[in-house]
Amino acid sequence: MSEPVGTGMAAAGKRDGPPQAGGDAAASPLGLCLFGVYVLLYGGFMALVLVRPDLLALRPFGGVNLAIVYGMGLIASAFVLAVTYMLLRSGR
Amino acid sequence: MLHQTSLVAVAIFATFVLGVLGLSFFLGRKGQSAAGYYAAHGQIHWFVNGIAFAGDYLSAASFLGICGMIAFSGYDGFLYSIGFLAGWVVALFVIAEPIKALGKFTFADALDSRFNSRGIKLAVAISTLVVSIFYLIPQMVGAGSLIKPLLGLPHEAGVILVGVTVTLIVVTAGMVSTTWVQFIKGSLLVFFCGVLTVLILGRGLAVNASRSGTENLAPQVRTVRPDGTVLVDGVTQSREHDLRPVGTILRLPERFGDARSTGPLGPLEYLSALEDSTIVTWAAKKHVDADGAHTTFTPVERRGTDLLKPGGFFKGLTTGKLADRLDFVSLMLALFCGTASLPHILIRYYTVKDAAAARKSTVVGIAAIGVFYVLTLYLGLGAMTSGALDPTDTNMAAPLLAKTFSNTLFAIISAIAFTTVLGTVSGLIMAGSGAVAHDLVENVCGVQMTDHEKIRCGKLAAVGLGIVAMALGILFRNFNVSFLVGWAFNIAASANLPSLVMLLFWPRTTWQGIVAAVSAGMLSSLAWILLSADTFEKVYGLPREMALTPFSQPGLVTIPFGFLVLVVASLLTPAPSPRR
């Protein structure tokens, strides 16, 4: 295993190639909040699959069972959260 | 099953492949630099990059594997769709902007941005190669599956055709041509899957199993004799005497009375009617004796309500066996964490100009990928009830579904599926090529190269990876492609995610910690897979009981292990200097 041959920005400064826009190398707090919301939704789905699969057979919406409604809801919520994030970040 | 070659299919397929190659050669004629070859000069428009994300990500596993799994096992295939998309949430909210700000050409650049350590470059380059190769296998297997019904050529021919085509795409214009191939593929895939779904809903559901007799529901036996000849129900297989296609509806819901067809249905109506129908699926059981390997396909009458809830493929969800449930949780965790750790996805962030473009392109990608995954449910269920499934090949469900509408649509869908493989494989080979040329040769070995030499080195690496991909695609021909992709996600999440996340959120992270975590995550997940019951059974041909791991998917253990190793190794080594 080698020793570091340079550190931090000094090393980065030696680079060539495409122009880097730089920017913040940390995730945004807003993004982390929205990520938390999705984790709760995803975790809820996993908990149902593992602990109460009988509930997923219920048909609450147009004769379609909860397994499908929740699954499609997760896909839709990912998109809604993504658009929300993009709009809020663009507005800042 | 034996499939008949269609001239229309060959013509459309040839047009697609030649079109893609023509585009690559056109783009390759423009002047190139290393920045252009590896990162398309960072000048790809965010919308194009977003659709290219979809083209890069929606692999053979997504299209062929998930549709096949839904068609044969029901709802559980859709769990893959849910997990694959969830990974993009991690990519957008946690990874996208930092990775753009930290890196240049490869994933190793980002992880090494604060340290400039050869150890990090070496470990990450090796992990990139391992993940890319594991991800390449299912793509090549998918290509082999497609070529049989499309062109009437053997599996090996499909694998070699993809390998050669993709190598040409990457070698001619690197990331520029790869991006455009992925953009075209992503657009076509989502559009034509939409068309297919509209046709499925327009056709509705129809009884296509014999109502009184059970002639077309009799068991079927396929025997492969030691000399290689294939028998169907004891008679040599031929076009006249072949396995019957499967996937039928036995009874429609009572509300349709005596009708044998529902007629056109809305998206929710379709799912509701299917839940109330009775469907025939086919169970396969294998045994080997002196006469050869016998596979018996037996019809199983099942209610739609049972097929549309979890547990059809992941048996542990219904049996309650702890190891099987942990296996499922482990897979879903790997899908969630794996997307943002896949090197071929991460390098796409370097093709746009700034963090805002990275963010916007991820949102476009999520939209396209999300729409596609919703469509997979309809495609899979449409195939399940199409009466056209090949019981020997789960990966062919979507193209064979298209064939029930028309041969032209079959040809188009097959050609798109083939382009799907091309798009993903070209991304993987680009990632591997960068890992070898930029990380290993230039940064680890310290070989000073001119811009031209960097490109040549990348191209040579691409050729080498193409050859490896072809060999593995032939070796793993009998695997379901979604299943194989699960392994790649596990290795990627275990090797890469701990370092990436901790680098962003824990200032105490050291270069030694990153090297240790990448190595430990990669090796532990690889070792787990090689010692698992699935590998014992499907790769070594040994009994599952001999396996040394309690369940097959490693992520549940090896992802936390990667985090633990990073924390311990970082605490045991000197803290990094404050950033200037």
The least confident of B86-90, B438-442, B535-539 is B535-539
Give the end of a domain, one of B419, B443, B478: B478
Q: Residue range B477-502: average pLDDT?
A: 83
CB contacts of B86 in chain A (<8 Å) are 38, 42, 74, 78
Q: Do B101 and A8 touch (CB under 8 A)?
A: no
What is the Cα–Cα distance from B579 to A27, expressed in whole angstroms? 17
CA neighbours closer than 13 Å in the CB half-sphere of residue B335: 25
Question: Pick the residue with more confidence: B467 or B481?
Answer: B467
**A5 pLDDT more than 50:** no
Residues B189 and B305 in one domain: no
Euclidean distance between CA atoms A86 and B1, whole angstroms: 49
Residue B229 sits in the same domain as residue B165: no
Kindly state whether residues B14 and B40 are assigned to the same domain.
yes
Q: Do B182 and B129 belong together in one domain?
A: yes
B90 and A7 in contact by Cβ < 8 A?
A: no
Q: Any residues with CB less than 8 A from the CB of B324 and at least 6 apart, and which?
A: B314, B315, B316, B317, B551
Tens of pLDDT, residue by residue over B303-324, are 999 999 998 888 888 877 888 8
Provide long-range contacts, Cβ within 8 A and 24+ apart, for B471-476: B472/B133, B472/B136, B472/B137, B472/B140, B473/B136, B473/B137, B473/B139, B473/B140, B473/B141, B473/B143, B473/B144, B473/B159, B473/B162, B473/B163, B474/B140, B474/B144, B474/B155, B474/B156, B474/B159, B476/B137, B476/B138, B476/B140, B476/B141
B115 in the same domain as B41: yes
In angstroms, rounded to a whole number, what is the distance separating the alpha carbons of residues B91 and A1? 30
Token pair belonging to B482? 């979604």
pLDDT(B580) > 50:
no
Q: How far is CA B45 from the centre of its chain?
A: 25
Q: Residue B359 and residue A89: Cβ atoms within 8 Å?
A: yes
Q: What is the pLDDT of residue A13?
A: 34
- If asked whether residues B16 and B148 sit together in one domain, one would say yes
Instruction: Give me B162's structure tokens.
Output: 């993809």
Q: Answer with the one of B417, B444, B478 that is the final residue of a domain.
A: B478
Distance between first and last Cα of chain B:
65
Give domain status of residue B40, yes or no.
Answer: yes
Same domain, B12 and B154: yes
| pLDDT more than 70, % of chain B | 96
Tell me how crowded residue B393 is: count the other CB atoms within 10 A of its CB.
18
Same domain, B64 and B199: yes
pLDDT tens string B494-527: 999 999 999 888 999 999 999 999 999 999 999 9
Whichever domain contains B51, its CATH number is: 1.10.4160.10
Whether B12 and B407 have beta carbons less than 8 Å apart is answered as no
Contact A23 B309 (CB under 8 A): no
Residue A18 confidence (pLDDT) above 50: no
B533 compared with B169, residue with greater pLDDT: B533
H or E stretch including B232? strand B230-232
Flag whether pLDDT at A21 surpasses 60.
no
| Predicted-complex ipTM score | 0.86
Q: Which domain holds residue B278?
A: 215-316
Q: Which one, of B357, B431, B365, lies nearest residue B109 by Cα?
A: B431
Compare B293 and B13 and report the one with higher pLDDT.
B293
Pairwise pLDDT comparison (B272 vs A27), residue with the higher score: B272
Pick from B209-213, B454-458, B523-527 the range whose average pLDDT is largest: B523-527
Inter-axis angle of helices B355-384 and A66-90, nearest 10: 160
- For residue A43, give how far its alpha carbon lies from the nearest alpha carbon of chain B (Å): 10
| B307 and B357 co-located in one domain | no
Separation CA B178–CA B44 (nearest Å): 12
Count CA atoms closer than 13 A to A37's CA, side-chain side: 15
Domain ranges for chain A: 27-90
22-41 in chain A: CB under 8 A from chain B: 22-28, 31-32, 34-35, 38
pLDDT score of B542: 86
Assess whether B303 and B424 both reside in one domain.
no
Which is more confidently placed, B47 or B146?
B47
Length of chain A equals 92
Q: Evaluate whether B149 touches B140 at the Cβ level (below 8 Å).
A: no
Whole-model pTM over 0.95: no
pLDDT score for B192:
93
How many A×B Cβ pairs under 8 Å?
A: 193
Q: CA–CA distance from B525 to each of B127, B131, B209, B389, B486 (Å)?
A: 11, 11, 45, 34, 12
Count of domains in chain B?
2
| B41 and B181 share one domain | yes
B549 located within any domain? no
- Domain-ending residue, one of B478, B501, B528: B478
Phi, psi for B192 (deg, rounded to 5): -75, -25
Whether the Cβ atoms of residue B234 and residue B223 lie closer than 8 Å to each other:
yes
Distance CA B280, CA B301 (A): 5
- Distance from C-alpha of B97 to C-alpha of B112, rounded to nearest angstrom: 16
Question: Is A51 an 8 Å CB contact of chain B?
Answer: no
Quickly count: other Cβ atoms within 10 Å of residue B218's Cβ: 12
User: Confidence band (pLDDT; 50, 70, 90) for B451?
Assistant: confident
HEC sequence for B460-510? HHHHHHHHHHHHHHHHCCCCCHHHHHHHHHHHHHHHHHHHHHHHHHCCCCC
Q: What is the distance between the alpha carbons of residues B188 and B196, in angstroms, rounded to a whole number?
A: 12
User: Do residue B79 and residue B193 come from a single domain?
Assistant: yes
